[in-house]
Amino acid sequence: MKFSDLTTIGIGGELSKYNICNDGFSLLDYTYEYYLNNLLDSGYKTNSKEYKELLPVIVGDGSNLLPPDGQFDKQVFVNKAADITIFDDSFNVESGCMLEDMIDKLIDNGVFAFTALSGIPGTVGGAIVQNAGAYGSEISDYLIEISIFDFKKGKYIELSKNQLKFDYRYSKIKNDPSILVLSARFNINKNFELPSRLTDIFGAKSPKTASDFNNLKDLIIAERAKKSMIYEITDINSHGCGSFFKNPVVPLELIEDNEIFENIPSYEVADPKSIKLSAAALIEQSDLPKGFTLNGRAGLSHNHTLAIVNFGGATRADVDELCEHIKKQVFEKFNVSLEEEVVRL
């Protein structure tokens, strides 16, 4: 198996050790056995470089992952544990459940608060790690707690939403390979309000029934597909990791009275002294139009400036080169540093 078979960007070399965990039991079994055989008596301190090298990599849907080109020697667990149990006021979902399957099942059961996340590829585990979101809604909105296995402590632990310190495309466990998310418990919020960005965009007339929300879901998916933000094997412009960069939050004084930012859309954030800028606009106005490529293999999607995609035969080195080029160009023009959203291995 090659890592490129597991990633939506189609990048990554041969895997030397991997297990596919098809359900919750195999996920627990394989990972605990790995802990016992490789980590517990390794003799390394848990914060040492050597211990970190031994930590496994958990792959969900591989839609936010950028692995290296060469042979990958760390242990990989591919998580397909996908059970959902719905209670009166909450539901439990295993971390390998695809977001779209969770949303479908919830809509069928009269739970509509997650519809805005329709069309985001990936598993629930990957979404929590990254606090995935769209249209003003985030996976963390109704999260109560998660169950994890901590490969440093060798323990199963529950972490509450507060402990995860969620922020824009961030959680405390992002880029922490010692944490395996096993499952999550969410609140069922029957009185939720559709995010205003969704009502603005779709003019949704207060959908109420499962059929209304299925229609809304279809509209969202159609809207996303126009931007190649639905992963489709036949759509080369979707063969990326979604948004490669975050919308940067900068000091308000940087843009005030600065005409260079005149045509850059901006959004308020909690801190009144800061402002969030559209990364897509910054890139496009740095002479990097949709479809831009340095060598024809990796380039900006023809349908979305924020997505770096594999046009065919791209390597990690191609993506890295393009990424650096974009960052440099944006910095030179706007004095703004772009931060990446993707997870690099």
Ligand X SMILES: Cc1cc2nc3c(=O)[nH]c(=O)nc-3n(C[C@H](O)[C@H](O)[C@H](O)COP(=O)(O)OP(=O)(O)OC[C@H]3O[C@@H](n4cnc5c(N)ncnc54)[C@H](O)[C@@H]3O)c2cc1C
Residues that bind ligand X (CB under 6 A): 8, 57-65, 79, 95, 120-123, 125-127, 129-130, 132-134, 179-181, 229, 231, 238, 240-242, 343
Please state the closest distance from residue 132 (CB atom) to ligand X, in A. Answer: 3
* For the chain, the helix, strand and coil percentages under 3-state DSSP, each to the nearest 5: 30, 25, 45
Pairing of strands 143-150, 155-160: antiparallel
Q: How far is the CB of 100 from ligand X (least distance, A)?
A: 11
Give the C-alpha separation, 333 to 286, whole Å.
6
Of the pair 127, 288, the CB lying nearest ligand X is at 127
| Cα distance between residue 340 and residue 225, in whole Å | 23
Give the type of residue at 204: A
| Smallest distance from ligand X to CB 124, Å | 8
The least distance separating ligand X from the CB of residue 193, rounded to whole angstroms, comes to: 20
In the bound state with ligand X, the residue whose beta carbon lies nearer, of 238 and 286, is 238
Taking the complex as a whole, the smallest distance from the CB of residue 252 to ligand X amounts, in Å, to 25
We find the least distance from the C-beta atom of residue 342 to ligand X, in angstroms, to be 8
DSSP 95: T
Q: Where would I find the H helices in the chain?
A: 24-34, 49-54, 99-108, 124-130, 196-202, 210-226, 252-255, 279-284, 316-334
Query: Which of residues 127 and 300 has its CB atom nearest to ligand X in the complex?
Result: 127
Q: Give the HSE-up count for residue 92: Cα atoms under 13 Å, Cβ half-sphere.
A: 12
**Closer CB to ligand X, residue 24 or residue 242?**
242
Which whole-number Å values give the CA distances from 47 to 50, 51, 63, 77, 196, in the listed order? 8, 7, 28, 22, 44
Could you tell me the two tokens for 311?
A: 């046009």
**Hey, what are 79's tokens?**
């998580």
Nearest-approach distance from CB 272 to ligand X, in angstroms: 26
| 72 vs 334 by CB, closer to ligand X | 72
Name the packing angle between helices 99-108 and 210-226 (round to 10°): 150
Nearer to ligand X, 228 or 285 (CB): 228
Which CB sits closer to ligand X, 3 or 91? Answer: 3
